[in-house]
């Protein structure tokens, strides 16, 4: 019997060994493999403007304890040279280093239009070389001002302010611009550089160029505008060619929340430069200038981000973007010189379609009015394939919810109409989808159709900034899986060039407080490195002269006058880059942000020399949407909001501390000393002013304790007391519920677990009673709601003035779920997941969880299951990294790894601790729930 067991264990072991060797079908290769080559976080980026870009790669190996001992990078000016292992631009030669991230290109100068190819080879810990990686590439855009021969152009009717008469709720008509040109010879290569002030769709000879949506995205257009580079060789040929563009008002000239119409300019403009090389060695260049023709009298009679598009098919001009079209009635475009704004490469992943949804149900609550339910709150627009009547407008109205009678609920959209219209030019079938807009919706109300729509008549097209998904999460509790799904959907919906608060009402701004709270959850969900690089540029572009960070970035108003200088919102300019550093080890970005972050702390300090942040707290949103906002008779009316000075001073102390750490890392030791001391002093004042000797914090709020604990502001001896008051407050005053808002909810949860109250954290997470995350889900949430009481059974929808159903701030709980259910925790002292901690903390009655996170250094995985009194934990630690594993365990001497008993490096009350090198490990321990 014993022998049989022994034999089967060996068989299982051999099978699992074989399986692990078979990763990606490379079982015959014991070597270290190198892949996922990226340049400035992007795969094969095109049109860059960084002259010393950074390269990175990911290692894979089937062996344990594997690491890189050296690398060699080759960069060549042609794929052929690279194939011959010739790095004519740069050969780093063999560098003895384990560095796989941010290797700075040190080859020949990178010039405008250059295309380069690169590959890398690495040596394992024993000095064996890998194969060369697959080749990767990058290319440069037009990096000198003098490269640009094009001029901005616009339609003269739009320029002559005819738009001023537009009703403030309307949007501008789209501009169509075209240019016919002749190519004299066979084209060997053609590259188009395109930008707009506004939004553009660019066409060549009837074909749309690129797959990006809402280009060139949202930046502070007064300072920088992105342009896109396209290889259009296949789209241009000898003979007559036509370049055409459609321009929308977008964020440049469209209505934006409090700023109103024309936030940056009054009419959209286009910039085009197409450079063509011929087989015979000659060149041609086509640039936007006054030789282009334009009109605003096309089929898109209005097009705005908030309101949607109205498309009158009767005004369509088929073939406008092809040769042979008669544009005699169009006007000559007006031109404008390139001005002081910089044309830049867009470093974040562009907005792209990700998926399509088919309706789950269509109802007809009123005759001829159809309500389509996609079963999922989503962001994008709809494609219609339906039947209509000539001249009869079809309305496509989008909303997140329905009323009891089944009709669409649109009150929470405020001033955003989210209504597309299509006016057919003939009876019968038509196909339609808008552009230059986006809608937040689960339901669509269709009216004006001539035939009832079928499920296939309408498709929901989901798009967002295409940062790659990085994390996968599953556990045995379906409600928690749904919660994580809701977080992912909310992230899809709000990652739209800037990190938005919401996607549906007339707001959709990169509110800094929201992304500050959500940043780590966002990082677990998607690879945010490139996106945050762009966002942090926006925070710097829109910092006020006195150092105030904006409340949102980009900031379309006057940041020196309003919407800047708010505790927790402005602090995003310090906290978000720190998160980027922790997760992606990006020191260059930290160095870029450093002086802005320092100026922010100096602003607060200057206004508050006694270190209590009382002055210069502009809008003071505090712990937005905390318990005091909940309207219910059986809920305390006060006690949720953190006293304003406690709240603000806690953020001040935290930011000063981070700026001190930033200074250390970027090598500014004097400033490090200064800000570390400042942080100590603020902490002292915080304690003197707000903390009583027994650990009570002024206001006795959950949020106050959460901040003080999370920012490490309390003396060690008072931590437990403060934590106890937090617990009591949750249990007694709020009957087992959180009263926290968007700044303190995830912090309270993290601190409960960190300070020995994991059980209570789990109870709050898995609670279904109001208010809780699962209450939202039980009441139909498929994305995260803005408010705990967005919808309450007894009272219905909350105040429509502020009730988004797609708001990621309360989704910051994702961070707790990743850190404690899957157990993944970055280690600040070895950033970029060089070392990390796997520490699952089971609870809430769940019996298994499984997750993987594609870190900047490769795939990290952690899966566990509780079975027959044992805790089984499988982990994957990528090559070149190490991990601390904390296994829940009731008997530290009975822990095995791959069936061998192993001795922990230390034992704590409820877990045993191991240090491991890279590899795949299978642990098991005795476990009592």
Instruction: Residue 559: name the closest of 571, 541, 574 by CA.
Output: 541
Q: Are 529 and 833 in contact (CB under 8 A)?
A: no
Give the contacts of 829 (CB within 8 A, at least 6 positions apart). 835
Mapping DSSP to helix (H, G, I), strand (E, B) and coil, where does residue 366 land? Answer: strand
The one catalytic residue in 40, 201, 275, 786 is 786
Q: How far is CA 191 from CA 115, 243, 271, 468, in A?
A: 12, 13, 14, 26
Backbone angles phi, psi at 856, to 5 degrees: -65, -20
Cα–Cα dist 653/612, whole Å: 10
**Minimum separation from the CB atom of position 10 to ligand BGC (A):** 58
Cα–Cα dist 733/627, whole Å: 11
Kindly compute the dihedral angle of the four CA atoms of residues 289, 294, 296, 302, in this order, to the nearest 10 degrees.
-70
**Minimum separation from the CB atom of position 419 to ligand BGC (A):** 21
Instruction: Residue 673: name the closest of 687, 659, 654, 690 by CA.
Output: 659
**Minimum separation from the CB atom of position 864 to ligand BGC (A):** 35
Q: Are 766 and 845 in contact (CB under 8 A)?
A: yes
Q: Which stretches of the chain bind ligand BGC, using CB under 6 A?
A: 501-502, 507, 511, 513-514, 621, 624, 807, 809
**Nearer CB in complex with ligand BGC: 584/624:** 624
**Nearer CB in complex with ligand BGC: 330/624:** 624
Kindly compute the dihedral angle of the four CA atoms of residues 835, 841, 847, 848, in this order, to the nearest 10 degrees.
-20
**Nearer CB in complex with ligand BGC: 295/494:** 494
Instruction: Residue 811: name the closest of 544, 569, 560, 495 by CA.
Output: 495
**Nearer CB in complex with ligand BGC: 265/616:** 616
Cα–Cα dist 651/656, whole Å: 8
Q: How far is CA 819 from CA 505, 564, 854, in A?
A: 32, 32, 15
Omega into 554 within 30° of 0, i.e. cis?
Answer: yes
Mapping DSSP to helix (H, G, I), strand (E, B) and coil, where does residue 5 land? Answer: helix
The one catalytic residue in 66, 249, 400, 507 is 507
Q: Are 324 and 202 in contact (CB under 8 A)?
A: no
Cβ-closest position to ligand BGC: 621
Instruction: Residue 691: name the closest of 677, 711, 675 by CA.
Output: 711
Which residue's entry shows tokens 């200057």? 606
Sign of dihedral through CA atoms 605, 606, 612, 613? negative
Omega into 654 within 30° of 0, i.e. cis?
Answer: no
Cα–Cα dist 887/561, whole Å: 53
The DSSP symbol for 835 reads E
Residue 786 designated active-site: yes
**Nearer CB in complex with ligand BGC: 597/809:** 809
Q: Are 823 and 863 in contact (CB under 8 A)?
A: no
Instruction: Give the end-to-end CA distance of the chain in Å, rounded to a whole number.
Output: 31
**Minimum separation from the CB atom of position 264 to ligand BGC (A):** 21
Alpha helix ranges (H) inside 84-222: 156-159
**Nearer CB in complex with ligand BGC: 102/439:** 439
Count of residues in the chain: 929
**Minimum separation from the CB atom of position 255 to ligand BGC (A):** 16
**Minimum separation from the CB atom of position 257 to ligand BGC (A):** 8
**Nearer CB in complex with ligand BGC: 613/624:** 624
**Minimum separation from the CB atom of position 807 to ligand BGC (A):** 6
**Nearer CB in complex with ligand BGC: 575/911:** 575
Structure tokens at 497: 């060039």
**Minimum separation from the CB atom of position 625 to ligand BGC (A):** 8
**Nearer CB in complex with ligand BGC: 802/892:** 802
List own/partner pairs for 80-89 with CB under 8 A and 24 or more apart.
81/117, 82/117, 82/118, 82/119, 82/135, 83/135, 85/132, 87/118, 89/116
**Minimum separation from the CB atom of position 805 to ligand BGC (A):** 12
The DSSP symbol for 779 reads T
Q: Are 475 and 358 in contact (CB under 8 A)?
A: no
**Nearer CB in complex with ligand BGC: 445/514:** 514
**Nearer CB in complex with ligand BGC: 321/501:** 501
Beta bridge partners of 402: 408
**Minimum separation from the CB atom of position 681 to ligand BGC (A):** 29
**Nearer CB in complex with ligand BGC: 514/751:** 514
**Minimum separation from the CB atom of position 206 to ligand BGC (A):** 42
Q: How far is CA 280 from CA 184, 187, 233, 236, 284, in A?
A: 10, 9, 15, 16, 12
**Minimum separation from the CB atom of position 569 to ligand BGC (A):** 7
**Minimum separation from the CB atom of position 774 to ligand BGC (A):** 22
**Nearer CB in complex with ligand BGC: 544/822:** 544
Give the contacts of 197 (CB within 8 A, at least 6 positions apart). 152, 221, 225, 252, 253, 264, 265, 268, 269
Q: If you write DSSP's letter for every residue of 649-688 in order, what string do you get?
A: HHHHHHHHHHHHHHHHHTT-HHHHHHHHHHHHHHHHHHHH
Q: Catalytic residue numbers?
A: 507, 786
């Amino acid at each position: 019997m014993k022998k049989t067991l022994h034999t089967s264990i060996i068989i299982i072991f051999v099978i699992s060994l074989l399986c692990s060797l078979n990763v990606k079908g490379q079982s015959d290769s014991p070597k270290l493999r190198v892949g996922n080559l990226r340049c400035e976080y992007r795969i094969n980026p095109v049109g860059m403007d960084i002259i010393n870009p950074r390269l990175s790669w990911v290692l894979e190996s089937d062996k344990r304890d594997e690491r890189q001992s050296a690398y060699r990078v080759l960069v060549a000016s042609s794929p052929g040279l690279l194939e011959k292992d010739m790095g004519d631009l740069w050969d780093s030669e063999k560098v003895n280093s384990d560095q796989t991230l941010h290797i700075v290109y040190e080859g020949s100068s990178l010039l405008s239009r250059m295309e380069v190819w690169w590959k890398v080879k690495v040596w394992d810990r024993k000095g064996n070389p890998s194969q060369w990686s697959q080749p990767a590439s990058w290319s440069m855009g037009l990096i000198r001002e003098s490269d640009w021969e094009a001029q901005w152009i616009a339609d003269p009717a739009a320029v002559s302010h005819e738009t001023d008469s537009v009703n403030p709720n309307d949007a501008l008509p789209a501009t169509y611009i075209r240019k016919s040109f002749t190519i004299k010879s066979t084209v060997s290569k053609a590259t188009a550089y395109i930008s707009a002030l506004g939004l553009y769709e660019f066409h060549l000879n009837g074909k749309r160029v690129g797959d990006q949506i809402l280009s060139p995205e949202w930046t502070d257009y007064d300072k920088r505008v992105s342009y896109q580079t396209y290889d259009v060789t296949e789209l241009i040929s000898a003979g007559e060619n036509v370049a055409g563009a459609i321009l929308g008002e977008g964020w440049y000239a469209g209505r934006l929340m409090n700023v109103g119409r024309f936030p940056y300019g009054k009419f959209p403009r286009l910039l085009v430069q197409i450079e063509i090389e011929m087989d015979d060695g000659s060149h041609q260049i086509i640039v936007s200038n006054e030789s282009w023709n334009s009109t605003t009298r096309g089929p898109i009679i209005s097009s705005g981000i908030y309101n949607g598009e109205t498309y009158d098919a009767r005004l369509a001009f088929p073939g406008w973007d092809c040769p042979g079209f008669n544009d005699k009635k169009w006007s000559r475009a007006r031109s404008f010189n390139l001005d002081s704004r910089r044309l830049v490469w867009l470093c974040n992943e562009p907005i792209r379609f990700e998926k399509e949804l088919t309706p789950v149900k269509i109802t007809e609550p009123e005759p001829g009015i159809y309500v389509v339910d996609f079963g999922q709150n989503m962001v994008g627009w709809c494609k219609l394939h339906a039947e209509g009547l000539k001249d009869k407008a079809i309305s496509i109205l989008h909303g997140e919810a329905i009323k009891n009678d089944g009709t669409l609920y649109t009150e929470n959209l405020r001033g955003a109409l989210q209504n597309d219209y299509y006016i057919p030019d003939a009876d019968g079938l038509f196909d339609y989808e808008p552009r230059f807009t986006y809608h937040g919706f689960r339901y669509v109300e269709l009216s004006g159709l001539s035939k009832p729509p079928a499920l296939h008549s309408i498709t929901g097209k989901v798009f967002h900034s295409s940062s790659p998904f990085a994390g996968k999460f599953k556990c045995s509790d379906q409600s928690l899986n749904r919660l994580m799904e809701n977080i992912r959907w909310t992230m899809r919906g709000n990652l739209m060039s800037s990190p938005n608060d919401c996607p549906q009402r007339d707001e959709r701004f990169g509110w800094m407080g929201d992304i500050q709270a959500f940043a780590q959850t966002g990082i677990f969900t998607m690879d945010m490195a490139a996106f945050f690089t762009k966002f942090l540029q926006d925070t710097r572009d829109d910092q006020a002269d006195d150092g105030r960070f904006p409340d949102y970035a980009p900031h379309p108003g006057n940041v020196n006058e309003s919407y800047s200088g708010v505790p927790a919102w402005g602090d995003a300019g310090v906290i978000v880059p720190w998160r980027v550093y922790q997760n992606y080890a990006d020191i260059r970005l930290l160095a870029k942000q450093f002086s802005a972050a320092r100026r922010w702390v100096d602003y607060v300090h200057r206004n508050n020399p006694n270190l209590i942040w009382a002055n210069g707290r502009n809008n003071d949103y505090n712990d937005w949407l905390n318990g005091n906002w909940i309207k219910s008779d059986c809920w305390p009316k006060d006690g949720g909001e953190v006293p304003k000075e406690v709240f603000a001073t806690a953020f001040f102390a935290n930011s000063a501390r981070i700026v001190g750490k930033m200074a250390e890392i970027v090598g500014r030791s004097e400033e490090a000393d200064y800000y570390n001391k400042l942080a100590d002093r603020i902490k002292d004042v915080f304690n003197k002013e707000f903390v009583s000797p027994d650990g009570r914090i002024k206001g006795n709020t959950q949020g106050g304790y959460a901040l003080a604990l999370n920012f490490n502001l309390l003396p060690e001896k008072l931590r437990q007391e403060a934590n106890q008051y937090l617990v009591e407050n949750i249990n007694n005053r709020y009957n087992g519920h959180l009263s926290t808002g968007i700044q303190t909810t995830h912090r309270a949860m993290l601190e409960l677990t960190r300070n020995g109250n994991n059980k209570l954290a789990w109870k709050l997470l898995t609670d279904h009673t109001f208010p809780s995350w699962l209450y939202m889900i039980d009441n139909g949430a498929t994305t995260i709601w803005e408010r705990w009481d967005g919808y309450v059974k007894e009272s219905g929808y909350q105040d429509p003035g502020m009730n988004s159903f797609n708001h990621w701030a309360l989704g910051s709980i994702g961070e707790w779920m990743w850190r404690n259910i899957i157990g993944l925790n970055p280690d600040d002292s070895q950033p970029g997941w060089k070392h990390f901690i796997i520490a699952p903390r089971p609870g809430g009655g769940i019996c298994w969880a499984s997750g993987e996170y594609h870190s900047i250094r490769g795939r990290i995985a952690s899966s566990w299951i509780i079975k027959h009194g044992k805790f089984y934990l499988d982990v994957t630690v990528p090559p070149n990294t190490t991990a601390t594993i904390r296994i829940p365990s009731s008997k530290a001497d009975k822990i095995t790894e791959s069936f061998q008993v192993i001795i922990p490096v230390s034992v704590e009350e409820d877990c045993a601790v191991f240090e491991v090198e890279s590899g795949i490990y299978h642990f098991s321990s005795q476990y009592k729930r």
